[in-house]
Amino acid sequence: MTYLVTGANRGIGLEFTRELLERGESVVATARNPERAEELQVLQGEHADRLAIFSLDIADVASIEAFVKELGARAIDVLINNAGILERCGELGEMDFEVIERSFRVNTIGTLRLTEALLPALRRATGDAKIVNLSSKMGSIAENSSGGSYAYRASKAALNMVTRSLALDLADEGIIVFVVHPGWVQTRMGGPNALIDTETSVTSLLDVIDNANASTSGSFKEWNGNTIAW
Ligand code: NDP
């Protein structure tokens, strides 16, 4: 099968790419700056026949258009919308609204725009295609007991809603769409004190993705398979 992973140059996206290649899948890996994605380049040296690396900034319309054009008539079986940002927008009273706008532009609008642009590629999949959006427990309204983090929380909550609508709109075509929370993971975003490493998160997430079916579509899953309240 062919998997497309965004933000594949580091963190969780890089680990998805590594594990998928290890198990024999084909991967379309995207990065904002492929020329600086050294670990991806090493993987390409090892799996040149199954790894294709493309340049893609999901917040840039022209970049999405150029990428989709370059992708051509390729079929995508599983789209892993992993790229995302966590930037501090400050406390109430001193809020940085540019950070909030940027967070929506990447986490919500960028993910939706890319997904829409890739629908033809997903429709070319032989089996039921899957779209997996990396959200966060911080985007759960039910789980918000500490406030703050307006930019990240709101942009991921909006991504959750986008996912639910996509799941409903694409159900007739058999395309499965859901969100996952990867856990608190040791990456540049998660920091060194995070609870799990990328391998623990991604190995488990791949189980969740493998087992996803029509009843998973429109749901919010944790890395260990538990369902999270919206
Ligand atoms: P990292 O910060 O380590 O990596 C983020 C990736 O996203 C990088 O490859 C980055 O590229 C890419 N990216 C950022 N902006 C854009 C953009 N505009 N276009 C394309 N790519 C972009 O994060 P993680 O690996 O930890 O997180 C991956 C996903 O998991 C995110 O969506 C995050 O919100 C989510 N998540 C992570 C948690 C954690 O504990 N780590 C917890 C909950 C959710 P570049 O190198 O060019 O900046």
pLDDT in tens, 13-53: 999 999 999 999 999 999 999 999 999 999 999 999 999 99
ipTM computed for the complex: 0.99
* 230 within some domain: no
**CATH code, domain with 76:** 3.40.50.720
Q: Whose CA is nearest to atom 13 of ligand 1?
A: 83
Establish whether residue 9 lines the binding site of ligand 1, counting it when its CB lies within 6 angstroms of any ligand atom: yes
DSSP 54-91: EE--TT-HHHHHHHHHHHTT---SEEEE----------
pLDDT of residue 79: 98
pLDDT of residue 214: 97
Tokens 């960028």, residue? 110
Amino acid letter at 120? P
Average pLDDT taken over every residue of the chain: 98
Query: With bands split at pLDDT 50, 70 and 90, how would you rate the model's confidence at 126?
Result: very high
* 68 within some domain: yes
Range of the domain at 85: 2-222
Burial of 190 (0-12, 13-18, 19+ CB in 10 A): buried
Mean pLDDT of 213-228: 97
pLDDT of residue 201: 98
Establish whether residue 29 lines the binding site of ligand 1, counting it when its CB lies within 6 angstroms of any ligand atom: no
Q: What is the pTM of this model?
A: 0.99
Establish whether residue 75 lines the binding site of ligand 1, counting it when its CB lies within 6 angstroms of any ligand atom: no
* The dihedral sign for the CA sequence 203, 205, 208, 209: negative
* 128 within some domain: yes
- Going from the Cα of 187 to the center of ligand 1, the distance in angstroms, rounded, reads 9
> Within its chain, how far is the Cα of 119 from the centroid?
15
Query: With bands split at pLDDT 50, 70 and 90, how would you rate the model's confidence at 56?
Result: very high
* 227 within some domain: no
* 229 within some domain: no
* 19 within some domain: yes
Domain count, the chain: 1
* 168 within some domain: yes
Distance CA 144, CA 26 (A): 38
Query: Catalytic residue numbers?
Result: 152
